[in-house]
Amino acid sequence: CFSMLPVILLLSTCLLATADIGGGALPYTSVPQRPTPGPNGWAVYTPQTFPNSITDYVACQMPGESFLCDPNRILDGNVTDAHQQLDHSLNSIRSTTQCACTSMDENFGTCKGEGGYIVSLALVDKIALDANNDNKIDRTQAAMKFANTLRSIQDRGQCDDDILIFLSRQDQVMWTSTGQIAERALTSELINEVTLNAENYFVKGQYTAGLQYTLEKYGQILRGEQVDLTPPGGWVWPFPLWAVITIGVILGLLILGLIVLAIWGCTRCCCNEKDDYQVGVRM
């Protein structure tokens, strides 16, 4: 099938060219037009349709150039205050960290005296997913691909030292994409630990607090500070609460069954011992 593709494309090109010469080309108005997004952005986004918070900050619901883009306004509480708080944290990371580019990283770029690490936040309500592939694994893989692709498109680092945090509210997934230089400090192990802790906020719908926690910890790591990664608000279950309850009930029933079985076994042994003793009767 793939071998026929060039022939088909060539024939299609010829037919279109002939139609244009003969005045039979389709009118421009017949080409599907991209609809205007509503006040809360598109229903779903792809990396290619996601707005750039530097050049298209209005679509990102921001008053000016920013490293934060929240076109669907998914943050809880006062969204304007939440945007200002997170925007300040993003700028703080850049101004309080050092450029990590070295002479060995010239293939990626060099320091330009514009601060340190650039961290961007990309927030959506939903990822565009096929209905047949909408499970936990697929959503995580889609978030990873979205974050990596968008970070590559935006290309905000000085030497592949940029970081992009992507969060999809309905898909309940967050992914952090790092450049090769940034990954030296912000390792996968640290990202996983911070993300797991942040879920303590996300499961309660506290997206602003969860993202603020993430930025706070990332900032400390990138500055080389001592970081306390104790889960906020106590230990976070690695499994959903319903799964923990189900497992607990099953274990409880199993233990109860073993106890009943042990009692039944002891009772039977006692009865057998009584049957072994017979009263002697003198005839």
Domain span holding position 188: 68-222
pLDDT of residue 76: 87
Q: Is 90 exceeded by the pLDDT of residue 37?
A: no
Question: What confidence tens digit (pLDDT) does each residue in 209-230 have?
Answer: 999 999 999 999 999 999 999 9
Confidence of residue 77 (pLDDT cuts 50, 70, 90): confident
Q: How many domains does the chain have?
A: 1
- The per-residue pLDDT for 3 is 41
Tokens 């229903």 map to which residue? 43
Q: Is residue 113 part of a domain?
A: yes
Residue 157's nearest CA partner among 116, 105, 207 is 116
Give domain status of residue 5, yes or no: no
pLDDT band at 112 (very low <50, low <70, confident <90, very high): confident
78 inside domain? yes
Contacts of 257 (CB under 8 A, 6+ apart): none
In a domain, 94, yes or no: yes
Percent of all residues in the chain with a pLDDT value above 90, rounded to a whole number: 54
Q: Does pTM surpass 0.85?
A: no
d(CA 67, CA 87): 7
Residue at 272 is within a domain: no
Q: Is residue 46 part of a domain?
A: no
Question: Is residue 277 in a domain?
Answer: no
Tokens 């996300």 locate to 202
Tell the residue number behind the tokens 């920013």, with chain if given: 66
**Percent of the chain having pLDDT more than 70?**
76
CATH number of the CATH domain containing 146: 3.10.310.50
Residue 196 lies in a domain: yes
